[in-house]
Chains A and B, each alone.
Chain A
Amino acid sequence: MTRFRTYHEVSHDTGSHLLEQVVEQGERLKARLDRIGTVVAVASGKGGVGKSAVTANLAALLAQGGLEVGVVDADLNGPSIGRMLGALGARLADEPDGIVPARGAAGVRVISMELLQDEEDAPLRWREPGGHTYLWQSSVEATALREFLGDVAWGDLDVLLVDVPPGTDKIRRLLELVPGLGGTLVVTTPSELSRSVVARSLRLIHEAEVPVVGLVSNMSGYLCPDCGGLHALFPGTAPEELAARFEVPIWGEIPFDPRLGASTDRGMPWVLEDPEGAVADAFRSVARRVREELLGGRRP
């Protein structure tokens, strides 16, 4: 039997230049991220907990406070950040340094698949000359996220928030692309179902040794407009249980307010529309922790 040398034992100079191109992609991404103070994932693992609304409102609040803020909508198949930040329909300038992101509410810079698709309600489809999309869909989506991070001319940002879609695999993908991830905001609701799903994400994040992790308890209760009391929406104490098990702090408890959803539908985050309300107060608590824990207390 022929005795073969291993892949790494033979010359790398094949002339195919594949490795060089992959290395160059990594260098381009790193150069872009080097100009960003910190990259923060807003993740959950579970759908329907309000990650995107948390991302949009937090981004707007930080930007309103004078920080330079960008948002990557990593939810390629269910994008919503463009609409929530009022950037839907914006055209993206194609400049030598990269694609200039759209500007949304409070001047937040944003890139989202929503801005690139023609029909608002069309499912995301990739050209598939060879068919068998399942074989390469994950590859093209990973490339799309890399391009969103590295090919967009973010400029000098204080913070770049990445709205991560449901699924622990999506969190892992971001961790591989951004090994220097500054922190993760893990969004959960009080429900028992959230607890079990979000625990998987927290375990992954814990194993990846992400330096800063904060929990956000979304829809933590319903603020009664008549009596002003906070009533439970979901049975369960998922945030407290998760915080204790993984030794992570709860950075904020966001009460449910149907007006928040209505305002983000209009492209104006609720924290800007009702800055004195209970929801804005809760978001201010999260924003303060982001500034303290991830931005070294940076203030405009």
Chain B
Amino acid sequence: MKFLCVPCDAVMAFSERVLPGDGTMAAVFECGTCGREMALLTNPMETQLVSTMGVKVGGREVPVQPLETVRGSLDDARPDAFTEEAPSPPTVGPVRWSEEALLRLESVPRFVRGMVKRIYTDYAQERGISTISPEVMDRARSDLGLEGM
């Protein structure tokens, strides 16, 4: 979008952005040749449309922030979605199997091995255990009454 001063046939230069309220944006442009000023007034919908593009008429006063538009426009924003601390671990993380535990699992007949593996995995997940070791398997068997699996 550009404004042309018709008598001077010159592009007008942006000079000021004002937000007078009511969702209106006034962008003032000036002809560098004759000094004539004009203001573009946007209605609230137009102001919003420009805003959703992640740009500011006249340039930015502060550097762009990550997810600026999403964070600034989302109506139902989760208040604690962002933190300045190190990333939090996933709510439900992957459960790993130690080599010893996998070796022991191989002694389970193949046709039920998948089911048995899931039982142990569920057990570990429910207790926040990240690695299944033979000790964890022993404990699970005892806790779940699965002697012999």
Q: Once the chains bind, are B48 and A143 in contact (CB under 8 Å)? A: no
Compute how far the CA of A87 lies from the CA of B23 in the bound complex, rounded to whole angstroms.
37
Q: Once the chains bind, are A15 and B13 in contact (CB under 8 Å)? A: yes
B128 interfacial by beta-carbon distance below 8 Å: no
Q: Once the chains bind, are B76 and A117 in contact (CB under 8 Å)? A: yes
Given contacts A22-B55, A132-B45, A147-B68, contact A140 B82 (CB under 8 A): no
Compute how far the CA of A7 lies from the CA of B43 in the bound complex, rounded to whole angstroms.
24
Taken residue by residue from 122 to 165, chain A's Cβ proximity to chain B (1 for < 8 Å, 0 otherwise) reads as 10111111111001100110011011100111000000000000
Number of interface residues of A (CB under 8 A): 75
Q: Once the chains bind, are B57 and A16 in contact (CB under 8 Å)? A: yes
Interface-centre pick from A12, A100, A105, A147 (highest chain B CB count, 10 A): A147
Given contacts A21-B56, A90-B88, contact A274 B114 (CB under 8 A): yes
Q: Once the chains bind, are A98 and B66 in contact (CB under 8 Å)? A: yes
- With both beta carbons as reference points, the residue of chain B lying nearest to A24 in the complex is identified as B64
Compute how far the CA of A5 lies from the CA of B91 in the bound complex, rounded to whole angstroms.
60
Q: Which of B48-67 contact A (CB under 8 A)?
A: 48-49, 52-60, 64, 66-67
Given contacts A16-B57, A136-B52, A277-B114, contact A151 B121 (CB under 8 A): no
- With both beta carbons as reference points, the residue of chain A lying nearest to B45 in the complex is identified as A130
Give the segment of B1-9, B131-139, B141-149 that binds chain A. B1-9
**B residues near A267, Cβ cutoff 8 Å:** 90-92
The smallest beta-carbon distance between A73 and chain B, in angstroms, is 13
**B residues near A100, Cβ cutoff 8 Å:** 87
Q: Once the chains bind, are B69 and A147 in contact (CB under 8 Å)? A: yes
Number of interface residues of B (CB under 8 A): 66
A227 interfacial by beta-carbon distance below 8 Å: no
Q: Which of A17-55 contact B (CB under 8 A)?
A: 17-18, 20-22, 24-25, 28
Compute how far the CA of A93 lies from the CA of B66 in the bound complex, rounded to whole angstroms.
11
A298 interfacial by beta-carbon distance below 8 Å: no
A99 interfacial by beta-carbon distance below 8 Å: yes
B118 interfacial by beta-carbon distance below 8 Å: yes
Q: Once the chains bind, are B53 and A139 in contact (CB under 8 Å)? A: yes
- With both beta carbons as reference points, the residue of chain A lying nearest to B13 in the complex is identified as A15
The smallest beta-carbon distance between B50 and chain A, in angstroms, is 8
Compute how far the CA of A2 lies from the CA of B60 in the bound complex, rounded to whole angstroms.
35
16 interchain pairs, CB-CB under 8 A:
A4-B4, A13-B13, A14-B12, A15-B58, A16-B14, A16-B59, A17-B14, A21-B56, A86-B91, A91-B83, A130-B45, A130-B46, A132-B45, A135-B49, A136-B49, A143-B54
A residues with a Cβ closer than 8 A to B are 2, 4-5, 7, 10-18, 20-22, 24-25, 28, 60, 64, 85-94, 98-100, 102-107, 115-119, 122, 124-132, 135-136, 139-140, 143-144, 146-148, 151-153, 266-268, 272-274, 276-277
The 9 nearest A-B residue pairs measured at CB: A130-B44, A86-B92, A15-B14, A17-B59, A140-B52, A151-B66, A125-B75, A267-B92, A130-B45
